Amino acid sequence: MIGLLARRAGLDYARRPLNLILLVVVPVVLVVMWGGTLAEFSELLGGTGDRVQIEAATAGWAAAALAGLAGFFQVTGSRAADRRLAAAGRRTTPVVAGRLGAAFGLALLASAGGLLALAARNGINDPPRVVAATVLFAIIYLALGTLIGTFVATRSGSEMNGALLVTLAWVLDVFFGAVLGESSSTLTRVLPLHFPSLVLTDQASGHGGPLGDLGWSLAWAVGLSTFAVARMTVITRPALTPVTIGPTRTVTRLSTWLRAGMREYRRNRVLWVLLVIVPAIFIALAVAVTPESPGSVALVEGARHFDGILSERRMHAMTMVPIAVAFLSGLTGLFVVTGSVKGDRRLVLAGFRPWEILAGHLGVIAVATTVTTAVAISVSGAWFPPNQWAVFVMATLLVAFSYAMVGVVVGPLTGRLGGLYLVLLLAFLDQGLGQSIMLPSGPPVWGAFVPGRGTSRVLIDAAFTDRFDEVGFLLLALAWLVVLTAMATTVFHGWAGSKRS
C-alpha cells in the first residue's frame, strides 16, 4: 500500500510536465548562471568562503528550494484525499509513509539536479562531502516545507501564507546565511542551513559546541523530520465529525464581486502580516549585513553620463525594494487567480464576463501589492531616502503591477507549484541579477531583455539623482506592463471560460 501511494503521489506531481522541467531548470539557473555572480556578491557582504565553496553551495540551495516547496504542496494539495484514504483503510501510517516517500523521492531528484548542474559547471572537488551535504539541504527543507504545510489551513488564500514562509526561510538562508555573509554572525545561527552550509563549504564555525557543525546539521534534519512526520500523522487521521460546506454566494455585479474578494482575503490576517513583514525583513537585513564600502553606479544627470560613487549599503537597500516587491506581487497574482478557478467558471456559466471576474481579482491584487510596495519603500527610505520620492514610488508600483501580471499569466498555465517556481526564479533572475548595480561589471547585457530593465533604470535615477532623465526607460517599463496585462487578460479569458459550453 505504501509503495502504491508513493507512486500515485509521484504521478500526480508529474502530471504537469513543467514541474519535471523545473527540476532541471532551477538547478541550471542557480548553479550554472548564478554561481560566479553569487561568489562576487559574497565578497561585497564580507563572506569568508572561496569561489569554489560558494559555487558548491548553490547545488544545495537549488535542492532546498525545490524540495521545500514540493513538500509543502504535497501536503496542502492532498490533505482531504489522504484523510479519506486513511478512513477507508482505517490505517493512517501507510498513507503518511506513502506521501512522505513520494516527497523524499522528489527531494532526491532535486538533489541530483543540483549536483549534475554543479558537475557540468566546474566539477565537484570533494564529492562525498558535497553530495551528502546537498542531500542534507534537501531533507531539511523537505521537512520544513512539509511541516509548514501541516499547519496551513485549507481555505482559499491560506496556501500563499505557507509558500511565503518556506520561501522566506530559503531567501534568508541563501542571501543572509553563512556562505554569502559572515559565518560567525550570531544573527543567522538560527537559520536551518547555517550549520549544514558550513559543513558543505568546509568551514569551521567555532560555535558548534559539543555537537559540532555536523552534529547540529543532523539535529536539524532529524528534528524537523520527526516533527513533520508527527504532524502529518495528526492531520491525516480521519475526522470524527463531518465537514460542512456553506452555500456558494452568487455574485451579480462587479462591485459585489470585488467586495466579496476583499472580504475573503481580509479574513486571512496572517497573509497581510506576511505581506508587511517579509519585505521589511528582506530590506532591513540587506542594510544590516552590507558594509559601508564605496561602489560605483552609472548615472545620468541632464546630458551628463557619469559613474557616481555611493555606499554599497545604500545601493543594496535600493535594489532590495524591486526584488521583494516583484516576488511578492507575482506571488499575490498567482494565488489570487488560482485560488478560485471553480467559482470563476461557475460565474462564467451564470453569465459573468471573464474580464469582469479578472477585474475583481485585480482589485484584490492591487490592494495587496500596494501594501507590499508601501512597506518596502518605507523601510528602505527610512535609512536612505530617494532623491525623487514621487518617481521612486511610481517606478516601484510599476514593478509591482508588472509582476502581478506575471503571476496572473503563469498561474493558469502552470498551476501553483510550477507558477511559484517560475515567479521566484524570474524575480530573482531579473531584479536580483539582471539589473544588479552592485556587480563589479554592472548589470549584464541580457538584463535588457527581461521586464525589469526599464523600471530598474528609473529607480536608479529616482534614488540617486535630483532630476528625472530616464524617459525612454519609463516608456519601456510601461510597454512591458501593457504587454503583460494583455497576456494576462488573454490567458485568464481562455482559462475562466474554458468550461462555458
State the number of CA atoms in the 13 A half-sphere of 89 facing the CB. Answer: 15
**Which residues neighbour 178 within 8 Å (Cβ) at sequence distance 6 or greater?**
185, 188, 193, 194, 195, 197, 198, 201, 203, 205
Q: Are 361 and 491 in contact (CB under 8 A)?
A: no
Per-residue pLDDT at 464: 94
Position 244 scores a pLDDT of 40
Q: How many CB atoms lie within 10 A of CB 471?
A: 10
Q: Which three cell numbers stand for residue 436?
A: 544588479
pLDDT of residue 2: 52
Sign, CA torsion 290/296/298/301: positive
- Residue 443: predicted pLDDT: 87
Query: Distance between CA 212 and CA 199 in Å, rounded?
Result: 10
Question: How much of the chain exceeds pLDDT 90, in percent?
Answer: 27
* Confidence at residue 49, expressed as pLDDT on a 0 to 100 scale: 59
For residue 190, what pLDDT is reported?
85
Q: Which residues of the chain have pLDDT under 70?
A: 1-23, 33-50, 89-90, 153-158, 181-185, 238-270, 347, 350-351, 497-501
**Grid cell listed for 195:** 550549520
Cα(63)–Cα(109) distance, integer angstroms: 8
Q: Could you write out the three-class secondary structure of 274-315?
A: HHHHHHHHHHHHHHHHCCCCEEEEEEEECCEEEEEEEEHHHH
pLDDT score at 265: 57
Q: Tell me the residue type at 356.
A: E
Give the mean pLDDT of the chain.
81
CA angle, residues 266, 270, 272, in degrees to nearest 5: 55
Q: Supply the pLDDT for residue 41.
A: 67
DSSP codes joined into one string, 375-425: HHHHHHHHHS--S-HHHHHHHHHHHHHHHHHHHHHHHHHHHHHHHHHHHHH
Residue ranges per structural domain of the chain: 1-240, 251-501
Cell of 260: 466579496
Q: Which of 443, 467, 315, 327 is nearest to 391 (CA)?
A: 467
The three-state secondary structure class of 234 is helix
Determine the Cα–Cα distance for residues 373 and 281; give it in Å rounded to an integer. 14
